[in-house]
Each structure stands twice: as structure tokens, then as C-alpha cells.
A and B are shown apart, each in its own frame.
Chain A
Amino acid sequence: MTVSTIKSRPIYPGLSPDLNARRNIIVCDKAGAAAVTELFSRADSAFAERTTIILADSLSATETQTLSRDLAPAAVEIQPTLADGIARLRQLLETAPMGLRLYAAGSEPLIGLVVQAGLDFSIDHLSIRTEHRGSLMRRVQCVHCKGYIENVTTNPVKCTHCGLTLLVRDHYSRRLAAFQGVCIDAEVPGEIPPTEALYQ
């Protein structure tokens, strides 16, 4: 099954403040917001004042209130979905100045899509500070039909586009922001191991 020693599998060292950055953009989800709060506790308030946070998640009114308070004095923009958050990030990167530092905290799909957006703007992936929080769910690309399967929590998983049952490998593409899914019963159609909830 999956081999965790695969070198393309990203590692996320954790957030740390870049005190020399002229501007910070942080993308996070609800779980990642806790990592951002901890990040702010390791920096001065001027750091937060130079920071824009894109909080991409569906939040209740109470959560919105609490998180906006916890993350002040940074400017917090709330986006209802991850896709909206990434679209907003790309908008900000269009006009981003030199001296910008990018951060991502939350699920792997969130981090992966932030890094992918950064690559499109020639931001070195190693310069993006990342911390994984919350769900282990994955974004998977079906190597056969090239469709993306979002929020994958099991291995194997059925491709939502072509219907093949896929082994989720640890082989990861930054460019595609996805793990690789390969037909698991190609040798003997129907010979499928039990589904495991590996990525809850």
C-alpha cells in the first residue's frame, strides 16, 4: 500500500513569523486559524498589523466573531470556500509587492493550493511557511482520466469522474497540488482490498 518514505510527499515544518517581511499573507481554514493565533503569540503586534489573513472555511456567526477577534489586529477576510479563498489569494498576488511572505495553515489541500498559487507567481515553494492542522483529507488526481477528487478520506477511493477504484499513493505533485490515484484492481478487475478511512 502507501509508502510514507516517498520523497515527493511534502512535509510541513510549522509556521514561524518572518519579522523582516514587509507584508504577510496567511491563508488558513478553521483548524489552521489556531496555528495562526499561536504564530501571532510568537511575534509583536506590528507583525500582525502587516498581515492579511484569508480565512477560507464555512463558519457560523459565532465562529466568525470569535476568530476575527482572535486574529486581530491582522486584517481578516473570510471566504466561504477554499476555492474562493484561493481565488482571492491569486487576486492579492497580482499586486503583491517585493518583501511579501506567504503562509498556509490547515488541511493539506489548502496548503497544496496555496503553494500551487505561489508557484504560478514564481514564489519558491520552500519559502512558503506551512503548518498542517485538522483533517488528513487529501486532494487526489486520477492518473487515468486526470480528474481531481477533493476531500478524499479513504484509501482506496472511487474516482468521481471515471469511476475507477484508485489506490491513493504518497507520490505528490506540487504543480497539480494533488496526490496520485492509480487503479487498484487493474491486474484483476474487482479484486479490491477493504476501504480504510486513512485520511480522516
Chain B
Amino acid sequence: MGLTFRNETFRDDFTYTNSPSNIRRFPFPFVEDQYRYSVNIEPHTPGPKGSPFEHHFDVDEHYVSEMRDRAMVLAADPLRCQALPHMMTAQWDMLELLMTSLARDYPEHFTLHRDGTAWHWINRPLGIDQKFTFLDASTLPYPPMEFIGRQVQGDFSIQDQRDNQLWMDAGIITSQADWSLDFDVGMNFFEWHGPVPLAHEAGVFERALKFLLNLQIGKPVRRLNWTMTINPRLDTSPENYHKWASDRMTVTPENVGQKVHLRVEMQGLFRLPRSNAILFSIRGYLMSLEQIVTVPKWGRRLPRVLASLPPELVEYKSLGRYRDMALAYLAPYDDGAPTSPGGGPD
């Protein structure tokens, strides 16, 4: 598959960018010209070759640099990775799912040898070669969730299921769209979604919870979510909000194309076999407006969607300071032509 891992940063000098060949595989989240709130869950079945949906856990050119950024976040704030004591079985479930998936889907980068509980994991891009005993945490340098979580792009939370509810009882979250694992750990599905506007009233969370409680092993599902981020910053956490929120004030009509990024989350949900917990993967993709408009369909559609957002969402996603500049920048790319259904490029 010939991946070349970029050496880039998501902070300070922000050298992150997408290679030209990476642009068209961006999971553009808008399937029509107008924004609509919906659960939009679909089966997480293999997508077209080369697309971010090809495998359950997408590895791309940003892999090595993203993992470096995660290590920096965890060194500064260990509370970004937490698991309540009853989640150890689920941690092993997660490790198994990720290791077996990566070794199957990217054999040139990852290898897993299993002989009973004697496991041998090789991660070539990160230079990790680890022999350990499955289900014996003392044989790994980190607890299982953290060990594997430091080696896979995207954030992860693990939901325990009891009392007809899902409880976010573990997670490794270093590139979040402004929510705190440390604050939310231990909350149920409605509670951790508490701050989201409109969707509670629309019944979205009740329907989603009902669906997820019945999620089957081997039948994962996915959905796309999005927000916008100034600069390609992964760590947009509330913990560091006082350090990054002022970035929004640096957007000008001249730099809006480079500074404003569409941040898409491909969210995957997997039932775990031993614990009956649900693994939630939140795989983030960042692309500047400047790169988005290189795909004509996206250049037409994005301004139409941004213009149709309800005010509550503009506020919730904190777009207010720069949305008009983004719309002005995008306007020339909308020639009024109709767009094809679905998010992919034509």
C-alpha cells in the first residue's frame, strides 16, 4: 500500500498538511447541500479500496506524527487516559480487536503472533516489539488500553453496558473536540452528551442508545461527525482551552483558507466479546478550506451547508467568530451547479 509517513506537527509551527494524494480520501461528511441533524449510523463494512472506510481502523500518512503528538499530550496530562477498575477485561478486548485488525489489514506495518496467551506484537512504523502474556497486565509497559491506544490513530472510549445504559468508564482521549474525559468518565450516555444542543429534544440520543444497546459482536457501525478547528491542532481539549481558543481571533480574510480546518470524526462502534462493553473509536481527519476547495463538489457544497446551520450549532461548535470569513472565502467556489448525492468526490 506504500504509505509514506509524514513528519509533521499539530502544534506550535503546525506543519501538518495533506499530501495531494491524501485529499480525495478525506471523509467529507456532508451528503447533501443542507445541514441536517441525524443519527446517521451505518454498518461499518469495508469500503472502497484506498478509502478511509476500507478497514475498521484507518492508518494514513499522519500516523507516526499523530502518535508523537499523543505521547506529548499524555506526558503533560496523564488524566487523558483513564479506566475505572472494573474495565480491565474491556481493555484487553480493545487490545485484541485493534491488534488483530491492524495485523490483518496492514501486514507490512504490524504483525501479531499468538501462541495461546503468549503474544508477540510488532509495530514497525513506531519501532515496537513486545512479547507479553494476554490477560496479564504486568507483562506490558502500560495498561492494555493505553499500550495499544498509544499506537492507533484516533481517540478511544470504552462504554460499559448495564441497567439499559452505556457508561463511559474508560478512555484514551488526546485529540478531542472540546470535551473532557476526566470530567465525563463514569457518566451515562445522556449525561456525557448533556451539553449537545437540539439533539436531546429531537430524540436523537434516545434512538441512538436504543440502537447501540443491541449492537452485535462482529457487526460494528460507524457515523461521521464534524466541527471546525483553527490550525491543524489535535489537542483541542477543554483542559487547554485557554491556550487554543484565542486562535479563533487570528483568522483574517487573507489566511482563512489556510487556518480554518474542517475536522471530521469517523466514529466506529464495536461490541467487545468478553466484557460486552462497546469500543468507541473517534478517528479524526483535518483538512484546510484551501485543500477542500480543490475538490469542486466539496467547494460547492461546504458553503451551502455552512450557510444553513441553525444558530445553536454555530454557537455549540464555536464557529461564530469566523464563519462569515469562511463563507466569503468559499463563495467563489460555489458556481450554483447541482451536486451529486453522498459525500465522496465526483
| Interface residues in chain A, defined as those with a beta carbon under 8 Å from any beta carbon in chain B | 3, 5-9, 119, 141, 143-144, 146, 164, 169-171, 173-176, 180, 182-183, 186-189
Contact = CB atoms under 8 A, between A and B. Distances in A.
B195 A169 contact: yes
6 contacts: A7-B193, A7-B200, A8-B195, A146-B79, A180-B180, A187-B248
A7 B194 contact: yes
Contacts of B240: 144
Contacts of B185: 175
Nearest to B318: A187
B238 A8 contact: no
Contacts of A141: 183
Contact of B195 (A146, A164, A171, A183): A171
B241 A7 contact: no
> Chain B CB within 10 Å — which of A7, A119, A170, A174 has the most?
A7
A4 to B, nearest CB: 11
Interface residues of B, number: 27
B321 interface: yes
Contacts of A189: 246
> Which 5 A/B pairs are nearest by Cβ-Cβ distance?
A186-B245, A8-B194, A8-B191, A183-B242, A175-B186
Given A141-B183, A146-B79, A180-B183, A186 B194 contact: no
A20 B29 CA distance: 55
B195 A3 contact: yes
Contacts of A173: 183-184, 186-187
Contacts of B190: 7-8
A146 B183 CA distance: 9
B321 A171 contact: no
B195 A6 contact: yes
A187 B182 contact: no
B192 A8 contact: yes
A183 B243 CA distance: 10
Given A7-B191, A8-B191, A187-B321, A146 B197 contact: no
Nearest to B79: A146
A180 B185 CA distance: 13
Interface string B194-209: 1101001000000000
Contacts of B346: none
Contacts of B183: 141, 143, 171, 173, 176, 180
A148 B196 CA distance: 24
B203 to A, nearest CB: 13
Contacts of B75: none
